[in-house]
Chain A
């Protein structure tokens, strides 16, 4: 599957206010053909409003939305070649699965035989064939989710919008459906734009992601890029786990906090916050490594352990991730020494 770099959907300076509240603030964004794009942010960040503007349920206060180079902002939802998978699924309760899927095609006034064939194909792809004649209330949560997806997919939209598609499922099912969604996106060859507040979900599924906060776009990039090089402190904190240490950067570019010195890249003189991921801190017996501390807690996560280490440098204990196999000797209360990988440190000033 090739992914071209032409934007299929272009969001140009889009903003939206509800009374005194700015829900979306001057967001510009290109979404490329056939990519799996995630809009990520905490609740109230404007991601759902943005999605609803794409679908046509809210009119942008400012800016334009271009699909294939054409401005679709003035079009009502029913005239837009994009479809939305609703968070509540919004399955029509008085229709069977087949009727739910046929609905959108009937609206296009397609011949009956075509509708039947396309609905059958889509039900096959989403494993819904056995449930064709059931009503939504006779389906499980996961089945409903698939019907909602199929109902939107059967329309063959240019872009499929998904509003927290996995939010209502339990953890196990959610993880399985993450992979399922990716597979279906690949098979259908449709651009997916997904809204989620779950950073893990975005990391697993998305080709690229945009992080929003208070209606503003903070960063756009591939998951690795955002994870490794967060543009702002908020992004660093929101994506994955991050340790923060407040200190000062000297004229030599060396970051210093109490009992800790690191030569991190890109440091300008002045106060700074150093950020480092738990997996980028090495441990050793007391005194072996430059930073000393005391283990205050050990959390077992199966594959690995997270040590919480109190140091003089930071108010909150630093989190250090180590393989579970190599950590059996450490106990809460033990002194320990740490080393921060300078190449993996980031400074926010």
Chain B
């Protein structure tokens, strides 16, 4: 390579500097706030305390945390259950059409999150499309109140993050040597056992990557609970939002943020282990 030893460092320097100055430092700063007291008028008083972390563990807030985790987990499981068959079907489609199918599966993911969430308000509203449809079909009772429910929040989360899960699972499926499945059939396993013992274990890294993504973004979400939950469902994201923008308790908000980050790091580490477990699938195999 004609690049000398110092050039890579020089090339990377501006980007690294930007990330350090505007991401690492702010994150450390806000983390440090978690160890200080809240000022009388809302600011920060620089007296060391662990009180904020104790408050995170307070039953009132711990309940919100656990509730968020439950909603996020439900959304994660539902998203995986929908995404896996979809990714599988795409990976079985003719080679030529796979990139196109994949592109259109992921396209909504890059469009505006708010708009995608808003679309569900339109659908689930009491005067919304689904109630309308029911009325047209002869339903005469009270319009169903589907909006501002936990199911609405979960639906919104699943809808918004589904494309990424499809992408993650598809990418492991498409890298899987199809001869592995054939070998399993050849050795006497039917389609179901082949799926359970070969395909599924080997695509777990993709499932884990997609799942961690949905979980982390769901638990820290505040837009979906605010719009589809109508503010009735406090999630950690809303709590952080409130501490910074309404309650003006930055140190406590910082502690909540820290808890989110720790959750994320733990999950990412678990995911890395899942990936390591199914490793080696591409090494030592010959291209046909």
* A residues with CB within 8 A of B: 55-57, 76-78, 83-84, 86-94, 103-104, 107-108, 135-137, 139, 141, 144, 151-152, 155, 167-168
Contact = CB atoms under 8 A, between A and B. Distances in A.
A18 to B, nearest CB: 13
Nearest to B189: A107
B95 interface: no
B23 interface: no
Given A77-B186, A103-B197, A137 B286 contact: no
Contacts of A55: 182, 186
A260 to B, nearest CB: 46
Contacts of B184: 92, 103
B190 interface: yes
Given A77-B182, A83-B186, A94-B201, 11 more contacts: A83-B187, A87-B179, A88-B285, A89-B286, A90-B182, A90-B183, A92-B184, A93-B283, A137-B280, A155-B188, A167-B286
B183 A86 contact: yes
Given A93-B279, A93-B280, A87 B288 contact: yes
B208 to A, nearest CB: 14
Nearest to B178: A90
Interface string B191-233: 0010001100110000000000000000000000000000000
A55 B186 CA distance: 7
30 contacts: A56-B185, A76-B190, A77-B186, A78-B185, A84-B183, A86-B182, A86-B183, A87-B179, A87-B288, A88-B286, A89-B284, A89-B286, A90-B182, A92-B183, A93-B202, A93-B280, A94-B278, A103-B197, A104-B188, A107-B187, A107-B189, A107-B193, A108-B188, A136-B280, A137-B279, A137-B280, A137-B283, A139-B284, A152-B186, A167-B286
A89 B285 contact: yes
Given A107-B193, A136-B280, A88 B179 contact: yes
A104 B187 contact: yes
Interface residues of B, number: 28
Interface of B: 177, 179-180, 182-190, 193, 197-198, 201-202, 277-281, 283-288
Contacts of A135: 280
B186 A84 contact: yes
A144 B186 contact: no
Nearest to A135: B280
Contacts of B190: 76, 78
A267 B193 CA distance: 61
A78 B285 contact: no
B277 A94 contact: yes
A104 B193 CA distance: 11
Given A88-B288, A137-B283, A107 B179 contact: no
A209 to B, nearest CB: 23
Contacts of B284: 89, 136-137, 139, 141, 144
A78 B280 CA distance: 26
B187 A103 contact: yes
Nearest to B185: A77
B279 to A, nearest CB: 7
A55 B187 CA distance: 10
A152 to B, nearest CB: 8
A144 B283 CA distance: 12
Contacts of A56: 185-186
B180 A90 contact: yes
Contacts of B179: 86-88, 90
A56 B186 CA distance: 8
A339 to B, nearest CB: 47
Contacts of B201: 94
A32 B219 CA distance: 65
Nearest to A89: B285
A85 B59 CA distance: 60
Contacts of A168: 286
A88 B287 CA distance: 7
Contacts of B186: 55-56, 77-78, 83-84, 152
Contacts of A93: 180, 202, 278-281, 283
Given A103-B187, A167-B286, A57 B202 contact: no
B180 to A, nearest CB: 5
A103 B288 CA distance: 24
4 residue pairs, one from A and one from B, having the closest CB atoms = A137-B280, A104-B187, A107-B188, A90-B183
Given A136-B284, A137-B279, A168-B286, A92 B185 contact: no
A89 B286 CA distance: 8
A155 B286 CA distance: 24
A108 B188 CA distance: 7
Contacts of B281: 93-94
A56 B191 CA distance: 14
A208 B45 CA distance: 90
Nearest to B181: A90
B275 to A, nearest CB: 11
A76 B280 contact: no
Contacts of B187: 78, 83, 103-104, 107, 151-152, 155
A65 to B, nearest CB: 15
A44 B179 CA distance: 19
Contact of A92 (B198, B283, B286, B287): B198
Nearest to B278: A94
Nearest to B183: A90
Given A57-B182, A78-B190, A155-B187, A88 B177 contact: yes
A167 B287 CA distance: 11
Nearest to A101: B187
Nearest to B188: A107
